[in-house]
Amino acid sequence: MLPFITQSKKLSAGETVIFLVNSVNDLPRDIFTTPELNYLSSSLKEKDKDLASINRLGKWLFVYRVGNGKTTPKKLEKFRKAGDGLLATLNGSKIVKIVISDLAARPSEALAMAEGMALGNYRFLKYVRKDVLEKEPSLKTIQIISKSLKSEQVERLNILCDAVYRCRSLVNEPLSSLNAEKLAREFERMGEEAGIKVEVMNKSRIEAMRMGGLLAVNRGSADPPTFTIMEYKPDKAVNKKPLVLVGKGIVYDTGGLNLKPSAAMDGMKSDMAGAATAATVVYAIALAKLPVHVVALAPATDNRPDGNAITPGDIITMMDGTTVEVLNTDAEGRLILADALSYAKNFDPMLVIDVATLTGAAMVTLGMIGIAGMHAGAGRYFRMVCDAGDTVHERIAELPLWDEYADLLKSEIADLKNIGGRYAGTITAAKFLQHFTGYPWIHLDIAGPSFLEKKDAYRTAGGTASGVRLLFEFASRLAESKQR
């Protein structure tokens, strides 16, 4: 359950509190005894120690020293992790509510701490039948007291955390509960809640659109594909042309006839993380009423090795007429994304950002930490996206898209090959996608950070919703920059 982040003007007696202070002298004397203050002062004198605590029979009082200096992305991440670090104590003590008292007048740090708590408190317990109450976190409410904090900031953080929770839960759902059609229905429900126009194309419409990439990947599936369009267009949008987000929606990836090794299939329910990210970002933008015209496109299918599945050597015709020699059926994500990128031209977009768990090579390069990013004709926007990523600690490493990489995709018998060989796999995958653009375009490969085997601070095990906070931050900055 998502902790509900609220505001208050004063502290009530007997509450569990974390005080953000510049020094122990900031603490209220009517709450702490002199021995307690002496203990806290002594504890915080220790080198590199910023946190001290007092346990009053299960009611905790924490003191966190903010420190001097400007608010930086690095400092905000420190506070997110600090908030997450308190969860073991809070949930272990069955604490239902915690108050963050910002005595240091650092609202951004207070919000970051609340964000770390809220995101770290996520659990996917839908299918747990035994001991579920023991596994369910006790923490339900995070209250912030800060004279400098605006209610709009708290409201947006609640919306963002809700979007992250939704994205994570979609990614964590098994294929048995979330095929392409069910994923599209989830997007429709989100649209109804947030006032977003949602259109779902079924297989016959996809065939009519001649989306050869999506149809080819779907040939091995017992379930039909879907192509979902979500559009939020406020009356006073700051952008004359829409921002289009394209998300890869492979609800399960076996590799097709180029079957993955069994160990490599364990987390492949997460191969639709890009589609979940794109959809939940539009959901958050709509709920926050950001004045940004935004569209999400989500092609979806699973990739299986049925008797009708595409085979290495097949040649398919994409939506834009490009012919592609399929040399590896496990390079399927780029095929469905290519059709979506072609379809995006119908919106005459200001910018298109695709987000996808596209290549294992991205994980080899950046591990589970960074996002591989590339762009064409979107230099200013790419810098804004990277800055947004630094702020929310979803950092982007830029890789080149030099013309020479296109040579690796040349085919003797078709316009393109769907793989470029052993080397530079993350780049050649993006270079393949670039062929279908022709507008300002950014590619984000989230294969590494989108799904974790074990918890990493507030990034919980399983789906992480990588890209949701980044793209929401970018949309917020886009709205503000256009309004000046």
Q: Please give the C-alpha separations between residue 79 and each of 246, 335, 430, in angstroms, as whole numbers.
A: 32, 41, 35
Sign of CA dihedral 475, 476, 478, 479: positive
Question: Residue 177's CB: how many other CB atoms inside 10 A?
Answer: 11
Of 478, 139, 468, residue with least CA distance to 277: 468
Dihedral sign for Cα atoms in the order 351, 470, 156, 182: positive
Q: How far apart are CA 204 and CA 189, in angstroms?
A: 22
User: Would residue 105 be called left, alpha or beta, if left means φ above 0 and alpha means ψ between -120 and 50 degrees?
Assistant: left
Q: Which helix (H) or strand (E) holds 51?
A: strand 51-56
Element of type H or E holding 396: strand 396-398
The CA-based diameter of the chain, rounded to the nearest angstrom, is 83
| Nearest alpha-carbon partner for 460 in 123, 157, 81, 164 | 123
Q: Please report where in the chains the tokens 């590799």 appear, as a residue.
A: 255
Dihedral of CA 442/443/448/451: which sign? positive
Q: What is the DSSP letter of 440?
A: S
Structure tokens at 38: 């002496």
Is residue 69 within 8 Å of 23, Cβ to Cβ? no
Nearest alpha carbon to residue 81 among 105, 113, 41 = 113
Radius of gyration of the chain (CA): 24
Tokens 């097709």 — which residue?
A: 256
Q: How far apart are alpha carbons 445 and 364 in whole angstroms?
A: 12
In the set 219, 334, 395, 469, the catalytic residue is 334
Neighbours of 55 (CB within 10 A): 12
CA dist 374 and 458 (Å) reads 27
Phi, psi of 450 (to 5 degrees): -75, -20
Q: How far apart are CA 301 and CA 202, in angstroms?
A: 11
Cβ contact 151:7 at 8 Å = yes
Spot the catalytic one: 260, 289, 455, 477: 260
Q: Going by C-beta distance under 8 Å and a sequence separation of 6 or more, which residues neighbour residue 445?
A: 356, 357, 358, 359, 362, 371, 372, 373, 426, 429, 430
Concerning whether 260 is annotated as a catalytic residue, the answer is yes
Q: How many CB atoms lie within 10 A of CB 189?
A: 12
Residues with catalytic function:
260, 334
